[in-house]
Amino acid sequence: MYLYDILSGIAAAFKENFLWYASFAFPFFILFWIVGKKYFQRIRIQLTQRANTHHFKHDLLYSASTFLVFAILDVCFYFLHDLGYTNLYTEVADFGWPYLLISFFVVLFLDDTFFYWSHRAMHTSGLYRFFHRVHHESTDPSPLTAFAFHPSEALVENLMHVVLPFLFPIHVGVMITWQIFSMLNNVLAHLGYEIYPKSWLSIPVLKFKTASTHHNMHHQLFNGNYALYFTWWDKWMGTEFKDYETRHQAIFERSKETTNNDGFYPVEVIQVKKEANNALTLWCKDKSGRFKNYLPGQHVTLKVTKGAQTYYRTFSLSSIPHVHENFSLTIKKIESGIVTPYLHNHVKVGDVLSISSPSGQFFVEVDPAKGKEYVLIAGGSGITPLYSMLGSILTFEPKSTVTLLYANRNFQSIIFRNEIEKWQREFPERLNVIHFLSEEKKPERAIGGYITRISLEQIINTDKEKKLHFYLCGPELMTSKLMEDLQYLGIAAERINRELFHTNRSITDIQGVHAKVEAKVYNKKYTYEAKPGYTLLESALQQNIPLSFSCKSGICGMCKAKCTSGNVHIKNNQVLTDNEIKAGYILACQSVPLTNHVTISQSGHD
């Protein structure tokens, strides 16, 4: 009977805890992540949503295990309370109102202090995987993430609620208020949207209360912003991210942005830097924070108007996210081109460029708790996205090692040579750089010739026991050959990633059918006819329908759209994932209609 009472008590406490959590987390999740998702996009902290159904299921499952741990602790606590061991009291007159109010703030301070130091400790390599790794599954947290803890962490998280009433008298009302404050604070910290106003950080007292951006940055950047309620421990210990206040303010600056209603945003050029190999780096000022949440390796599309003609070109971001305050594009001049010579010859400091939000599937998501072995292979200006990846891995993933194979004509044509050599000196145990120079037969500190299968085999044989992750970017002829070599050498396809700047591959010759197309482009609706033999984009441009596009080759993703009715055939796809295709996403530049009616939607938030 006694065991039955214990189990019944645990079941009742679990139900109460979970319902208590659901009454806070579920309404906020439904309002911000489902019903009002589009409306609240203006105050979303991370503009690109990375959380999906997997994360939501994961968070609910571990939240349930957390409240089971809480329930067991609650039963133990109330058992000891009934025996008279706690200092909980119910009558305010026992200690008076001044003590009650002071005790509440003492409780918050002690809880906040314990959380900061225990949380920081759980980020050390020895404890992280046993306690905190589960919670960091979500780099883009939602209200469901608030209590998604490993059972071991759940025990730590609830320790103060169990221990403090044994140490000094606490009124029951203080306990309940503390629980409400803690629950609400935790849900808002993981909301994913910034509901603390722009003026919050300028108010003398309130600025020490953490805004939603504070903890969201912790989930993104990992080592910093450990606070629970207040920012003072992070400030005192130097663990607060330096751009926290800037990031918070930038969210509210987005409403001042002007666009051309086609997904392009004006940015100011603040520095123009000449690089090797006839390349140019344009540093641009990011007032809105829109370009702070990109992943290393992603690209943007640049809209250039020259005379009466408008051109779209895709360029990789060469800056390192969360290291560089602003962002940069490194652009090689193509003598036979139209846009790159124009940019090299005319863009200057103070000019305003029209640029799309960052996108693309070629990227790395660094995890400071993991250790991987990367092999980055670049040819010429293909170093651009890999440079961003390399800097991010070295900075934010300290357990990982990187081998960079970089092919150029000669030493003088190596882009970012000084920066790479600096990293070699700074990270000698983690970074191995091998240069391949095609125009030098016996170069010093390099290999004469091209990257070959033998070169790859030597790398693989050196690390036979390790699972190497390959990222390739450069001329298609080079990267296609090396991908074949890697597969021949037994490297699984899922561990080989490639970015193409252009493609020469043949595409499936399907003509399609005549169709009526309804297109929603950035909330404006258009109707046009698509002819057999023409893609949705080609037919749209012929009829002045402003679909977004850039490369027209199926490799940049700028023309990505969602097909909500009808069927299309995608002739060439280097961008969309299998899950995106299953969800109905297409590339307008490569899609021909297979049915007589097709409806598509194109938006920067798709």
pLDDT digit string (tens) for 437-493? Answer: 998 878 888 999 999 999 999 888 876 667 899 999 998 889 989 999 999 999 998
pLDDT digit string (tens) for 297-322? Answer: 999 989 898 888 888 888 999 999 88
pLDDT of residue 605: 46
pLDDT of residue 325: 82
**pLDDT of 348 above 80:** yes
Question: How many Cβ atoms from other residues are within 10 Å of residue 576's Cβ?
Answer: 19
Contact 105, 99 (CB under 8 A): no
Q: Where are the beta strands (DSSP E) in 348-467?
A: 352-356, 373-379, 401-408, 431-437, 447-448
- Across the range 52-77, mean pLDDT stands at 94
**pLDDT of 606 above 60:** no
Backbone φ and ψ of 188, nearest 5° = -70, -35
pLDDT digit string (tens) for 390-421? Answer: 999 999 888 899 999 999 999 999 999 999 99
d(CA 285, CA 293): 14
pLDDT of residue 600: 94
DSSP state of 326: S
- Residue 230 β-bridge partners: 209
Mutual angle of helices 96-122 and 159-167, in 10-degree steps: 140
**Residue ranges of the domains in the chain?**
2-250, 258-356, 373-499, 515-602
Given the structure tokens 């169990």, which residue do they identify? 162
pLDDT greater at residue 368 or residue 546: 546
pLDDT of residue 360: 83
Contact 184, 28 (CB under 8 A): no
pLDDT band at residue 1 under the 50/70/90 scheme: very low
pLDDT digit string (tens) for 146-196? Answer: 999 999 999 999 999 999 999 999 999 999 999 999 999 999 999 999 999
pLDDT of residue 234: 97
- The CATH code of the domain at 515-602 is 3.10.20.30
Backbone φ and ψ of 275, nearest 5° = -115, 175
- Residue 282 β-bridge partners: 272, 329
Choose among 433, 302, 430, 458: nearest CA to 378: 433
Over the chain, what is the mean pLDDT? 90
pLDDT above 90 as % of the chain = 64
Could you tell me whether strands 431-437 and 447-448 are parallel, antiparallel, or unpaired per DSSP bridges? parallel
Buried b (16+ CB within 10 A) or exposed e, 119-148: bbebbeeebbeebbbbbbbbbbbbbbbbbb
DSSP state of 184: H
pLDDT of residue 502: 54
Question: How many Cβ atoms from other residues are within 10 Å of residue 345's Cβ?
Answer: 10
- Across the range 538-547, mean pLDDT stands at 89
User: What pTM was computed for the model?
Assistant: 0.72
- The CATH code of the domain at 258-356 is 2.40.30.10
pLDDT band at residue 556 under the 50/70/90 scheme: confident
H/E stretch holding 156: helix 151-157
d(CA 359, CA 297): 9
To the question of domain 373-499 being in CATH 1.10.260.40, the answer is no
**pLDDT of 505 above 90:** no
Do domains 373-499 and 515-602 share one topology? The answer is no
